[in-house]
Homo-oligomer: A and B are copies of this chain.
Amino acid sequence: MTTTTPETIDDTVDDTNDRHSAKMRKKKAARDRLMADKAGEKGLLIVHTGPGKGKSSAALGMVLRCIGHGMPVGIVQFIKGAMDTAERSVLEGFPDLVTVRALGEGFTWETQDRARDVAAAERAWAVAADMMADPKIAMVVLDELNVVLRYGYLPVASVLEAIAARPPLQHVVVTGRNADDALIEAADLVTEMKLIKHPFRAGVKAQKGVEF
């Protein structure tokens, strides 16, 4: 190995090749990101959290924007049901631009099977990681990932590492209640959706076009 740039020499001395290449990837991503920043272009890490409505809807609104710009989008649903078949059917009308993968097995209080939930989360994460490794994908939506992290089904550190190593112009949108502090710290844009008033409390059932 003939490393000549001074900042990499110390790092590699005690590392295996695997660890080294992971580090190099991170460094390259950081450098690329810095260069991109200078040109004013930057892939943003966006978090929609809080107990209010609109976290996934606002992500969908951004997907619509990307479609309008001809920017390819990847969507991974970590919890089943967060995105309805109605929305999916519209998005599937743009097969060249939008890829939707739903891998959640349903809410945990329904499945009550932690091992199965962890396995589902890991499968979903593998798909997400592939999308985040593809510089052709302009935006990756990780729908309800916060919930999965909250339950400890995926390690926050690996998720943050993959997000940091993504292509520098790629936007990542993470939705779900109770976003991890480290994710908020890493994010560029964080919105908390706060619930002021909700019709279910007044005995009104979920309405087509609004809730699903």
Contact = CB atoms under 8 A, between A and B. Distances in A.
B69 A208 contact: yes
Task: Give the dominant DSSP class at A's interface.
Answer: mixed
B209 A54 contact: no
A24 interface: no
A48 B197 CA distance: 11
Contacts of A197: 184, 187-190
Interface residues of A, number: 60
A178 interface: no
A174 interface: no
Interface of A: 37, 40-44, 46-48, 50, 52-54, 56-62, 64-69, 71, 84-91, 138-139, 171, 184, 187-199, 202, 204-205, 207-210, 212
